[in-house]
């Protein structure tokens, strides 16, 4: 244990209830499919309400890509209970359809037939839709159907005060603390991919005839023998504009300045596409990024925004509010896509990242060494004797992982003490078997099942998704839960109609105002 970690743990133990005030929430994506596992091309079900205004059920890229959202909770049990309830609402209301409980997509139609999410005719809804049109132009629709679990986490304000960080201003202290956490997350995120990566294989049809260097497993499945998460690899993403981005995590100001540059700098290939075709918007602009959320990363600093407020401006003015972990695959063995044990480990991992010493990155704030470790683990994390790099030195994945688990375990013990629980330590202990025996990892178990059963990835994923749907429907909804679901759906439709009726601004003017709302970080 480092002296920094030891000191910070001791500071927290003076008031252990600080950790009990931490908040976590989940956004879980999943495709709607028919009983044969084919992507649904029907509109978002009205019975689920408005994808624009419903508090818990929306869509991501595609009209068929549901996103189920929980509120924030100060304990994992309450978080998982709400996620379970939202899943049961969806399962009991999908008529003849299932929720595809895997990160890699179901059987997809032709690229042109994948429906882009529609949010109605309000300016708010149209800007979301046009942004997704732009994603189709830039990356293609197929890759936008990949799904995951996003884990949102925040510490109480008193957490940062307890650590006696150097910044006197509370906002600066909090933001510096989260940026430090993000740096460490970037250093160690490969561990999450090894332990929880669940996408070592993909349907051959998904790649539209391009095998991308993958090996064949039967006639219909492609895979890599030691892969943990093809979802988080460079599979299919050959985008020079995004590849050129090297955002700085040494301080919030530099991060925001580089993000600002990305959303304001034109990219030649996107300029050739233009913003309009046949009189309709096809992308919001021709810059490297249309908006801030287009930047793909394993973790993001976040701040809730108001109407027409840009994330860069909100972060610059009010600082980081929470972090969004974006690298978790959907766990196909869990009906909710994530287990409570996994959530507890992520909590302990994030606490470790916040408390451990986090020196600034060299090379202008971007760490190619960490990026290389991550890329190695997602494609070959279970390769015997795999070596990673730490400060220029080679370390075996197994040795480094055990050392990290020792330190994360101390953070888990602190969480157990604060919450009167023992399941945080149990969540860390459960991971050691995966380090000792790679065949215990989710990715290895999935491949072993595919090989032993002779099933294609498509059939395996469909079988599991159908079984989960059946269990969720069997549990069903209580009368109170059913009444709440109906009320939320009806109210969301009313709210969307109100937005559409209340618009007095032309959409072109609204887009222009949206772009003008972006301020340089130094001016916020």
> Which residues is 107 bridged to in the sheet?
38
Distance separating alpha carbons of residues 296 and 242, to the nearest angstrom:
8
**Predicted confidence (pLDDT) at residue 365 exceeds the cutoff of 70:** no
Structural domains in the chain, CATH included, are 3-523 (3.30.590.20)
> Which residues is 198 bridged to in the sheet?
none
Flag the least confident range among 74-83, 167-176, 213-222, 465-474.
167-176
User: Which residues, including other chains, have CB under 8 Å from residue 404's CB and lie 6 or more apart?
Assistant: 188, 191, 352
Q: What is the 3-state secondary structure (H, E, C) of 324-379?
A: EEEEECCCCCCCCCCCHHHHHHHHHHHHHHHHCCCCCCCHHHCCHHHHHHHHHHHH
Per-residue pLDDT tens for 256-276?
Answer: 999 999 999 999 999 999 999
Distance separating alpha carbons of residues 508 and 502, to the nearest angstrom:
16
Q: Please report the pLDDT score of residue 165 as a whole number.
A: 82
Q: Please report the pLDDT score of residue 239 as a whole number.
A: 61
**Residue 155 tokens, joined:** 């510490």
Q: Please report the pLDDT score of residue 240 as a whole number.
A: 67
Q: What band does 426 get if pLDDT is binned at 50, 70 and 90?
A: very high
Q: Please report the pLDDT score of residue 1 as a whole number.
A: 64
Three-state DSSP state, 38: strand
Higher-pLDDT residue of 363, 234: 234
Per-residue pLDDT tens for 329-352?
Answer: 999 999 999 999 999 999 999 999
Rounded alpha-carbon distances, angstroms, from residue 245 to 241, 270, 294, 428: 7, 16, 12, 34
Per-residue pLDDT tens for 368-384?
Answer: 899 999 999 999 999 99
Q: Please report the pLDDT score of residue 54 as a whole number.
A: 98
Q: Please report the pLDDT score of residue 406 as a whole number.
A: 97
Flag the least confident range among 184-193, 358-367, 412-421.
358-367
Q: Please report the pLDDT score of residue 167 as a whole number.
A: 76
pTM: 0.97
**Predicted confidence (pLDDT) at residue 237 exceeds the cutoff of 70:** no
- DSSP assignment letter at 105: -
Angle at 86 between CA 68 and CA 311, to 5 degrees: 30
């Amino acid at each position: 244990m480092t002296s920094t970690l030891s000191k910070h743990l001791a500071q927290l133990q003076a008031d252990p209830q600080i950790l009990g005030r931490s908040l976590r929430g989940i956004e879980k994506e999943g495709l709607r499919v028919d009983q044969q596992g084919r992507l649904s091309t029907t509109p978002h079900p009205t019975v689920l309400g408005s994808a624009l205004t419903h508090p818990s059920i929306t869509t991501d890229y595609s009209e068929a890509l549901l996103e189920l959202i929980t509120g924030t909770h100060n304990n994992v049990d309450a978080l998982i209970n709400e996620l379970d309830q939202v899943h049961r609402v969806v399962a009991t209301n999908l008529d003849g359809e299932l929720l595809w409980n895997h990160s890699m997509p179901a059987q997809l139609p032709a690229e042109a037939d994948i429906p882009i999410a529609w949010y109605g005719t309000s300016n708010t809804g149209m800007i979301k839709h046009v942004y997704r049109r732009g994603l189709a132009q830039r990356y293609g629709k197929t890759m936008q159907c990949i799904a995951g679990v996003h884990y949102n986490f925040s510490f109480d304000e008193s957490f940062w005060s307890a650590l006696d960080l150097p910044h006197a201003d509370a906002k600066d202290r909090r933001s510096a603390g989260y940026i430090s956490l993000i740096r460490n997350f970037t250093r160690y995120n490969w561990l999450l991919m090894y332990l929880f990566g669940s996408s070592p294989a993909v349907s051959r049809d998904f790649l539209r005839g391009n095998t991308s260097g993958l090996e064949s497993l039967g006639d219909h499945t492609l895979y890599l023998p030691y892969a943990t998460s093809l979802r988080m690899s460079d599979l299919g993403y050959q985008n020079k504009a995004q590849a050129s981005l090297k955002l700085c995590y040494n301080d919030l100001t530099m991060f925001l300045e580089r993000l600002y540059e990305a959303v304001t700098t034109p990219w030649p290939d996107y300029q050739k596409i233009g913003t309009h075709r046949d009189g309709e918007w096809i992308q919001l602009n021709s810059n490297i990024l249309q908006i801030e959320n287009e930047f793909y990363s394993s973790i993001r600093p976040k701040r809730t925004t108001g109407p027409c407020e840009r994330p860069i401006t909100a972060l610059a003015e009010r600082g980081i509010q929470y972090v969004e972990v974006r690298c978790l695959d959907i766990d196909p063995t869990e009906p909710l896509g994530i287990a409570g044990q996994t959530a507890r480990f992520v909590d302990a991992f994030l606490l470790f990242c916040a408390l451990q010493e986090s020196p600034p990155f060299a090379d202008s704030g971007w760490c190619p060494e960490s990026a290389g470790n991550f890329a190695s683990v997602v494609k070959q994390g279970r390769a015997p004797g795999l070596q990673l790099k730490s400060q220029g030195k080679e370390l075996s994945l197994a040795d480094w992982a055990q050392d990290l688990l020792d330190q994360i375990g101390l953070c888990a013990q602190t969480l157990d003490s604060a919450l009167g629980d023992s399941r945080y330590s149990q969540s860390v202990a459960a991971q050691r078997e995966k380090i000792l025996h790679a065949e215990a990892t989710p990715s290895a178990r999935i491949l072993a099942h595919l090989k032993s059963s002779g099933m294609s990835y498509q059939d395996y994923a469909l079988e599991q998704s159908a079984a989960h749907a059946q269990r969720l429907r069997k549990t069903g909804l209580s009368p109170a839960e059913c009444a709440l679901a109906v009320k939320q759906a009806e109210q969301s439709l009313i709210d969307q109609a109100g937005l559409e009726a209340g618009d007095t601004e032309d959409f072109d003017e609204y887009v222009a105002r949206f772009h003008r709302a972006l301020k340089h970080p130094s001016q916020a």
